[in-house]
Structure 1
Amino acid sequence: MVAMPASIDETQALLADADYVADRALSTVLFLSLKMGRPLLLEGEAGVGKTEIAKVLASALDRPLIRLQCYEGLDVSSALYEWNYAAQMIEIRMREATGDTARDAMRSDIFSERFLVRRPLLQALDGAPGRAPVLLIDELDRTDEAFEAFLLEILSDFQVTIPEFGTVKAAEPPIVVVTTNRTREIHDALKRRCLYHWVDYPDADRELEIVRRKAPRANAHLSSELVRFVQRLRKLDLFKAPGVAETIDWANALTELDAVALDPALVSDTLGVLLKYQDDIARIETGEGREILASVKRDFLQA
């Protein structure tokens, strides 16, 4: 069992050892979340590394990762539990065939542990002391407010009540990370139960360090150029600015092409790795991309 970090510096080092380059503010709120046993709500644009934090945390602390991927229409049966109705019906038919039809005994048996199908949220409450899992509730903003309200009991008391079964309470609360891309506002009642952090795009130095760790085969000069290119690209009013994940993908793609530096043709041919909307690609191909690349080249000549 890996011990919890005892300080902000240890938290930052824990993430760095797993190749996650976190700034001081993120390391601080993560340390406080672990120390206080509070869920951590991470907001930010898609691709800035919110989900990766939970994955790295589970790996670094040697704990299971339980992921609830949110989507429109997500309900209790998919997120928390459901009963194995087919097995229950078979059990009822077998009891009827043998004449064992005592109502109370039958009800007690068919709504017992062996017929309960545990979904991610209920699984997260089952962790043993010292091995409580990391629960990732990913992209909560994709669900509706009714599902948010359902989460309140779990995030405040780490327990849930199943009408036919009783109350299930965690022996040790899971480490909870909630992410949202802010496509809609999360209700204040849920926010109050969490510590909050906005995960922003990294600055150039931190993004370059991320590329060095995640795309180690990339040429050093190429990595510097592409990071500066992406940093300038994010300042444009694009439909969807490239995230850190796209920067890493671009570095790996250019490495596969044996590139050692950016040039206009190479940028144009590989924009589909970096940008995901045709309007953005067309805009960069028609001139702005060449201007950005030229400014990046000038920076290196002047350095």
Structure 2
Amino acid sequence: MTQNAATRTDDINSPRGLADHLARRAYLADEGLAAAAYLALRMRRPLFLEGEAGVGKTALARTLAEVLGAPLIRLQCYEGLDATQALYDWDFPRQLLHLRAAEAAGATDVARLEAELYDRRFLLARPLLQALETTPSVLLVDEVDRADDEFEAFLLEVLSDFTISIPELGTIHAEEPPVVVVTSNRTREVHDALKRRCLYHWLEHPSFDREVAIIRRRLPDATERLARQVARAAQRLRGEDLLKPPGVAETLDWTEALLTLGLRDLEPDTVAVTLGAVLKYREDQERVVRRGLDALLDGN
């Protein structure tokens, strides 16, 4: 099997096997995450991933889609998101054009014309409907903690039986339920009812050794020395009282920035010019600079 070859769920027979498939695509899952993802696939249950931003929740869904050779369908949650925006909507401009064309052609059957306006061709499928109608697919419900309580209740209903009802068209049921990954950065508590429907896993920041391995796998041009310097500095930054401690995504951004500048060592002057790749708040940058960049690199 080649690195990019798709894999059927039935061909993945253990958490270790899934971890190997993920690793071939540069995602290094620890034992706990690999087990949770494997059980979600085999038990056909949504996987609820919670943890700080940048620890790899979204990346797991993306990599699972690559492993399964399935499209990734992403529903980005935000305050005010409602069922229409997540499920489907009617293409009003096209309906209006159809109505005008029918009137110009002299159509007189009002009932038939009304029925035509709600034909499937005028339906705009949003992410949830797309996932139900696409086999196979991976549905990523990203940052569900940003959505409102009402949307949570709606999402729970959809995930319970993967069926939706469209009054004008009838009931649509997924022939094969999508693989579902739900993520939360824990900006608020998600209701227990939704968590009970899912398998749950909390993602920690990686250990030092695992972070070094992630950097080397994702950015092979990075030397072992540079990867260890960046990972150690990132781990120390997470121990500071920062508004936004760096995640793995920022560690990779930082390493890539250094490589792009042709830098092969992490020193105070190189940290100073690349700090914006790893710390995204001015207050955090000022705090680190005040403490001294030498302290950040002590022991590197």
TM-score normalised to structure 2 length? 0.93
- The answer to whether residue 143 in structure 2 is matched with residue 143 in structure 1 is no
Aligned to 1:281: 285
Q: For residues 77 and 283 of structure 2, what CA distance do their matches in structure 1 show?
A: 28
Residue of structure 2 in register with 1:203 after alignment = 207
Q: Does 1:60 align with 2:67?
A: yes
Q: Report % sequence identity.
A: 50
Partner of 1:101 in structure 2?
Answer: 109
- Could you tell me how far apart the structure 2 residues matched to 1:222 and 1:90 are? 60
| Among candidates 199, 222, 235, match of residue 239 of structure 2 | 235
Counterpart CA distance in 2 for 1:85 and 1:210 is: 47
Mapping for residues 21-36 of structure 1, pairs under 5 Å: 21-36=28-43
Partner of 1:300: none
Deviations for 1:144-176, whole angstroms, at most 9, x for unmatched residues?
Answer: 111111112211101111122211100100001
Cα distance, 1:179 vs structure 2: 0.9
Q: Over the residues paired in the alignment, what is the CA RMSD in angstroms?
A: 1.5
- What amino acid sits opposite 1:188 in the alignment? D
1:217-265 Cα distance to aligned partner (Å, 9 max, x none):
1122111111111111111111110110111111111112222322222
The answer as to whether partners of 2:216 and 2:223 remain within 8 angstroms in 1 is no
Selected match of 2:88 from 60, 81, 86: 81
Structure 2: runs of 5 or more not aligned: 1-5
Between 30-39 and 70-79, report the one with greater CA deviation. Answer: 70-79
CA-to-partner distance for each residue in 1:122-144, whole Å, 9 max, x for gaps? 0101123xxx1001111111111
Kept in 2, the 8 Å contact 1:95–1:101? The answer is no
1:80-134 residue CA offsets vs partner (Å, 9 max, x unmatched): 111122222333344445243242x334322221211111110101123xxx100
Residue type of the partner of 1:2?
T
SS for the counterpart of 2:61 is: helix
Is 1:117 matched up with 2:124? yes
1:1-303 correspondence runs (5 A): 2-4=7-9, 5-96=12-103, 98-103=106-111, 105-128=112-135, 132-294=136-298, 296-297=299-300
Which piece of structure 1 moves more, 90-99 or 235-244? 90-99
TM-score (structure 1 length as normaliser): 0.92
CA distance in 2 between counterparts of 1:80 and 1:134 reads 16
Count of residue pairs the alignment pairs up:
292
Amino acid at match of 1:216: P
Deviation at 1:2, TM superposition (A): 2.0
Please, which runs of 5 or more residues in structure 1 have no aligned partner? 298-303
